[in-house]
Amino acid sequence: MISNQSLGRPNTQYLKSNPITTVSQSLKVRPNFLSAWLRNPKQVGAVLPSSDGLTNTMAAQIKRGPGLTIELGAGTGAVTAALLSRGIKPDHLILVEKDRILAKELDHHFPALRVLEGDAARLQQLLRKSGLGLADNVVSSLPLLSMRTLTRIRVLSQVFAILQPDGKLVQFTYSPRPPVPERLAHSLGIAGKRIERVLWNLPPANVWVYERTHENMAVIRPKIDARHRGATGRPLA
Ligand SMILES: C[S@@+](CC[C@H](N)C(=O)[O-])C[C@H]1O[C@@H](n2cnc3c(N)ncnc32)[C@H](O)[C@@H]1O
């Protein structure tokens, strides 16, 4: 049995969120987040962790099923706690975090979860090393728009290489623009939809969901089915 403490703080404030609780919760929460930002502002991409309003909106988009959910850029675990509250089983949730200190903290706060310290641009390799297979969901807090174009392309290609054909990428952005520029989405064979604008976050954020386009699914499905039959949890080829 896993206690609430070992899973992180319970995340039941969604409906009660307002600007004052959002700000005070964020400020009191995580000095580690601020120090991570001081170490590498571009990589962290935010001074405060995401609010409950934002994390719950992201968690509400995931497809619930037997497959894996991969969280990219787990930071101090704000989205992680929402995913667990949403009912994702700890052995189906994998956290990826590049910052070594934050990755150690995540390990400490969420002992029941697997934390992979590493770069999302090498996601396939990270999962393969841990013997993990295709995922149903990728939930990302990565600052995609501040990445170099090549890195962004690498990350997104890796994400869609490890997602099941009907898997989803849930991504937030502070920008009014899509987190994946339209031309890039088109060339990757994916399409996105803005699901919600979350005002009770500093700064306000937009939640997007990306999936493969139907044409792209038709092309890749036979390839993936052949290589990864019943793939969830099995090693990638
Ligand atoms: C905006 S913070 C989000 C933290 C947390 N998920 C939240 O919502 O409060 C982005 C996180 O992504 C991590 N990150 C940035 N680039 C990364 C990469 N290439 N691979 C893995 N993690 C990365 C940063 O270290 C940081 O913890």
Q: Is the pLDDT of residue 42 over 90?
A: no
Structural domain contains residue 4: no
Amino acid at 194: R
Query: Which pLDDT score is estimated for 220?
Result: 52
Structural domain contains residue 210: yes
Q: Residue 124 belongs to what domain range?
A: 14-227
Distance 229 CA to ligand 1 centre (A): 32
Query: Which pLDDT score is estimated for 36?
Result: 79
Structural domain contains residue 204: yes
Distance 170 CA to ligand 1 centre (A): 14
Q: pLDDT digits over 150-166, tens only? A: 999 999 999 999 999 99
Beta-sheet strands, E only, within 141-179: 163-173
Confidence class for position 219, pLDDT limits 50, 70, 90: low
Q: Is the peptide bond before 222 cis (omega within 30 degrees of 0)?
A: no
Cα dihedral: 10, 66, 194, 160 (round 10): 120
Provide the CA 33 distance to its chain's centre, in angstroms.
17
What average pLDDT does range 112-140 have in this prediction? 97
Structural domain contains residue 67: yes
Least confident of 8-22, 59-73, 155-169, 209-223: 8-22
- What is the CATH number for 74? 3.40.50.150
Q: Which atom of ligand 1 is closest in space to residue 43's alpha carbon?
A: 15
Domain count for the chain: 1
Ligand 1: which residue has its CA nearest to atom 2?
44
Structural domain contains residue 189: yes
Q: What is the side-by-side order of every strand in the sheet holding 135-140? A: 114-117, 93-97, 68-72, 135-140, 163-173, 205-212, 190-198
Average pLDDT across the chain, whole number: 83
Q: Is the pLDDT of residue 233 over 90?
A: no
**More confident site: 175 or 3:** 175
Q: Is the pLDDT of residue 15 over 70?
A: no
Structural domain contains residue 212: yes
Distance 173 CA to ligand 1 centre (A): 12
Residue among 35, 55, 117, 142 whose CB has most ligand 1 atoms within 8 A, to mutate: 142
Rounded Cα distance between 27 and 33, Å, is 10
Region of residue 118 (left: phi > 0; alpha: psi -120 to 50; beta: else): left
Structural domain contains residue 9: no
Tokens of 207: 């939640």
